[in-house]
Amino acid sequence: MNGRLPRGIRNNNPGNLDYVGQAGAHLETDVGSPRFAVFPTMDDGIRALRDQLVRYAVRGLKTVAAIISTYAPAGENDTAAYIATLCRQMNVAPDTVLDMDDPAIQQHMIYGITIMENGPGHISLTQINLALHTASDTTGTLLTSASWRGTEHDHAPGTPPVSAGCGGGFTLPTMGQD
């Protein structure tokens, strides 16, 4: 492993998720105080972060402030700066209710978190988009969003495609509209 790369990138865990027995993951072994999960691929780590954000939403944590206050608690992080940076990147207020089932919101939330956790330049919006819309079925056959057409993995009708070149922020789609 390259010691110059951030820990989250070395671990295929761009969100620096704690290891809690996630399927396919294992506890990191090459550090003095192991804590974080190591995923088989970066795509697996990206999807694990998405799954965590969706679990937060199910528990009622649906704003940047609520999510990040739990995800990056003040005892370990500059939580206020983390929230401010994500809100600036996403062009939302800390108390804006997010639809964490919306793939565009997931993508941009994950992008902001990966920058906060690892610094810029390691994970792209395109890479996140591909990870969220590609998986393997139980036989190992690669599936893409095109082969999932008509399932819950498609973008909602009327949702504009997400620009991979967005870079500095985006405007959330209006909630509750098709």
Q: Judging by beta carbons within 10 Å of its beta carbon (0-12, 13-18, 19+), is residue 124 exposed, middle or buried?
A: middle
Q: What angle do CA 111, 123, 47 make, to 5 degrees?
A: 65
Is the model more confident about 163 or about 21? 21
Is 44 contained in some domain? yes
Q: What does the pLDDT look like over 125-155, one tens digit per residue?
A: 999 999 998 764 444 444 443 333 233 333 3
Task: State residue 37's pLDDT score.
Answer: 98
pLDDT at residue 135 in the model: 64
Whether residue 166 lies inside any domain: the answer is no
Q: Is residue 67 part of a domain?
A: yes
pLDDT of residue 134: 77
Domain carrying residue 37: 7-124
**Total domains present in the chain:** 1
Residue 144 lies in a domain: no
**141 lies in some domain:** no
Average pLDDT score over residue span 28-49 = 96
77 within a domain of the structure (yes/no): yes
Is 87 part of any domain? yes
Residue 111 resides in a domain: yes
162: left (phi over 0), alpha (psi -120 to 50) or beta: beta
The pTM of this model reads 0.76
User: Which tokens belong to 127?
Assistant: 């890479």
